[in-house]
Amino acid sequence: MENRITKLEVEFGYVRRDLDEIKTELKDISHRLARMPTTNGLWGMIATVIGVALTMIGITVGVIAHLTATLP
């Protein structure tokens, strides 16, 4: 009987250790999720990228038009 209790105590120690590891990993995951951008933040980033791309296209078209108009 004593042997079985000792074995259960050892097994419970392993379970406790595993639960502590899971708890630590869940805290890490929640901290990482808290730092992720919100949906509004993502839309803002997308709008910024589109705005920069359209500006670059406009500048390129303007430069080409200017060069074409000034060539003999």
At 12-55, the pLDDT tens digits run 999 999 999 999 999 999 988 888 888 899 999 999 999 999 99
Are the C-beta atoms of residues 37 and 45 closer than 8 Å to each other? yes
Look up the domain containing 7 and give its range.
1-36
What stretch of H or E contains 68?
helix 39-70
Q: Length of the chain, please?
A: 72
Q: Residues 47-71: what's their mean pLDDT? A: 95
Overall number of domains in the chain: 2
Do 31 and 43 lie in a common domain?
no
Confidence of residue 70 (pLDDT cuts 50, 70, 90): confident
Q: Per-residue DSSP letters for 1-19?
A: -HHHHHHHHHHHHHHHHHH
Do 32 and 3 lie in a common domain?
yes
Q: What is the C-alpha separation between 44 and 51, in angstroms, rounded? A: 10
Do 24 and 49 lie in a common domain?
no
Do 63 and 48 lie in a common domain?
yes
- Residue 24, SS3? helix
pLDDT at 72 over 80: no
